[in-house]
Structure formats: C-alpha cells, structure tokens
Amino acid sequence: MKPYQRMTIIECGEPLVPIPLEQFAIESPHPYAKLGAPYGNISPYYLRQSVLAALEIAQEQLQQWHPGWRLQIFDAYRPLAVQQFMVQHTFIEVARTEQINPTNLSQEQQQAIWQQVYQIWSIPSSNPMAPPPHSTGAAVDLTLLDATGQKVDMGSAIDELSPRSHPDYYASQPEFSYHKYRKLLRDVMHSSGFQRHPGEWWHFSLGDQMWAWLCNQINNSHNFTARYGCVDDSV
C-alpha cells in the first residue's frame, strides 16, 4: 500500500458529470480505448462535479496568462476494468521492450517488471479504502496546447516509464523549455486547488486520497481527508 492510500475517505456522494469537450482539447480516439480498453458505454471524459468546476477555473487562469492556450485532457475517469487492462498491457509492453517473453517469466523477472509498472500505474484494487485515483473521478491527466493548437513539448510523453516523467527532471537543464512548461501547468492547476502527483508531471487530483495526503504534507496544521472514493463502473 502506498502512503497516500492510508488517508481516510469520507465519500461526499458528488456525481460524476461529463466534461464539456467543446471547452477543452482531447485526444481522439481516446488513447486507452484505441488499445482495446474495456470502457463499454462509459466515457473516460467524466469528473466529479466540483473537480470539473476547478478544471474550468484552471483553464481560465491559463488563458489569462497565455491567451489562446488550452488544456488538453488525456484521461480522466477510469473504471477499474480499464485500470486492470492498462496495468496488464503495460506489463506486457515492458517485457517486450526488454525482449522477454511475457508468458514465460521467472518470479524475479515478474517482480522487476511489476516494480516498473507500479512506478506509474496504481494497483487496480477493489478495496474501497484504497481505490486507484482515476477510478474516483477526481484525477485528470493532461498537458498544454499553445495558441496555434500545437501540443507543447513537455520533455516526455504521458505515461512514459522513465525518469523523465518526474516533474523536476529538467529543473537543472535551463537549455530546455520543458521545466518552464511543466511549472506553468503545475501553477495553473494549483491555482484552482489541484495537487500534482510527485512522480508524474501530467497527473493532478482534487479531493482524492493523493490530494489529501499531499495537502497534509504542505499544511500539517490541518487534517485533510479525501472526499471521493471509487465510483461504481456502471455509472
């Protein structure tokens, strides 16, 4: 169990609501859907109501600082079945990258690969006290588009399993603009209450266990709790 999963969840019952796709940029088709992830009739472009409201405020802040720029949403709500699919897909891809047969692995090889996979991916747990962040409807993966509609180069791809995914990887390399843009994305999202995943420049949440844990690291005089637990896959 990761440290943030020890945070108390007091579910507020707030509904998932559709993200107004005319306001934000998205990838189409959805990156996981085109891999065959089992969404069924469920859209990934949903968030809890207050989380969506905060995301809209974040985009307004971005456009005040950089007119014409937009947030591009990579992923938002993720059913547990999709989490399971993507974890298994990533496991197979890591094995293939290392030229190992994913169906014929030693225990040591499996453990080494799982360690890599879980650097980025949360365990697809059905434990109501330890849900994957995206399965709560309170987490979003996103990046920036400039005024010409071009994706801003952030120095690594979303979901990349490498040290480059760490938010501060380029902090000591001023010859690149990557850190400046990662900081811009962070500042925009922080302006409306989101917290950034410590190991992923693209992942932000508001109201889930990770958010509460990060808020407590920043302000230990207040005891933050999570207000969003796992949303049933049938919504």
Query: Measuring CA to CA, how many Å separate 150 from each of 36, 146, 176, 192?
Result: 27, 6, 18, 24
**Nearest to residue 140, comparing CAs of 41, 223, 16?**
16
Cβ–Cβ < 8 Å for 76, 139 = yes
pLDDT at position 208, please? 99
Q: Which of 11, 60, 98, 200 is catalytic?
A: 200
Quick one: 147 exposed, middle or buried, by C-beta within 10 A (0-12, 13-18, 19+)? exposed
Give the span between the Cα atoms of 38 and 32, in whole angstroms: 9
What's the confidence (pLDDT) of residue 220?
77
Degrees to nearest 5, angle at CA 212 with 48 and 218: 135
Classify 36 in phi/psi space as left (phi over 0), alpha (psi -120 to 50) or beta: left
- Give me 159's structure tokens: 């979901």
Read off the pTM: 0.94
200 is a catalytic site residue: yes
Q: Where are the alpha helices (DSSP H) in the chain?
A: 49-65, 80-97, 107-120, 178-190, 209-218
Mean pLDDT by 10 residues, the chain (235 residues): 92 97 94 96 96 99 98 98 96 91 87 92 93 98 98 97 97 93 98 98 99 93 92 65
Looking at residue 201, its pLDDT comes to: 99
Domains in the chain (CATH in brackets) are 3-78+136-218 (3.30.1380.10)
pLDDT for 128-144, tens place per residue?
Answer: 999 999 999 999 999 99
Q: Which of 21-50 are b and which e, b meaning 16 or more Cβ less than 10 Å from the residue's Cβ?
A: eeebbbbeebbbeeeebebeebbbbbbbeb
Q: Tell me the residue type at 76.
A: A
What does the pLDDT read at residue 233?
62
Confidence at residue 235, expressed as pLDDT on a 0 to 100 scale: 47
